[in-house]
């Protein structure tokens, strides 16, 4: 969740202080990129404790990153455009949903332990 807080703070600061037509997209990309790097390191070494297969995990994590980036931008932008609401307040529930979705994918696909590792 620490990486989510970093991402949300970056997003909020950019959306609040930069007046640009596509700021939701840019803020989503920058925030998610920084948050995802932190998230990958924390999840690999602390949460799931999987110390091998870094290359394949990086590739799978990048695919998940792109999917979550697109979904976050699409949902936040769609809701903000339709209902004229604060982007940061909309991003919170959207990203909570994406957090749980991402956790399941990371647990069962990206950082899953092989059968041999589970027996040790």
Whether the CB-CB separation of 31 and 14 falls below 8 Å is answered with yes
The range of the structural domain enclosing residue 109 comes to: 2-119
Count up the domains in the chain and report the number.
1
Q: What percent of the chain has pLDDT over 70?
A: 94
- Pairwise CA distance, residues 90 & 99, whole Å: 14
pLDDT band at 79 (very low <50, low <70, confident <90, very high): very high
pLDDT classification of 102: cutoffs 50, 70, 90: very high
- Assessment of whether the complete model's pTM goes beyond 0.85: yes
DSSP state of 55: H
Query: Is there a contact between 80 and 87 (Cβ–Cβ < 8 Å)?
Result: yes
pLDDT category of residue 10 using cuts at 50, 70 and 90: very high
- Say yes or no to pLDDT of 1 above 80: no
């Amino acid at each position: 969740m620490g990486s989510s807080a970093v991402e949300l703070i970056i997003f909020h600061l950019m959306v609040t202080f930069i007046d640009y037509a596509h700021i939701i997209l840019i803020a989503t990309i920058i925030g998610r990129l920084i948050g995802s790097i932190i998230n990958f390191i924390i999840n690999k070494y602390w949460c799931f404790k999987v110390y091998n297969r870094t290359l394949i995990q990086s590739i799978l994590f990048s695919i998940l990153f792109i999917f979550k980036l697109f979904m976050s931008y699409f949902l936040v932008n769609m809701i903000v455009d339709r209902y004229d609401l604060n982007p940061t307040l909309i991003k919170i529930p959207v990203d909570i949903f994406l957090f749980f979705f991402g956790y399941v994918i990371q647990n069962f696909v990206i950082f899953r332990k092989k059968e041999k590792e589970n027996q040790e």
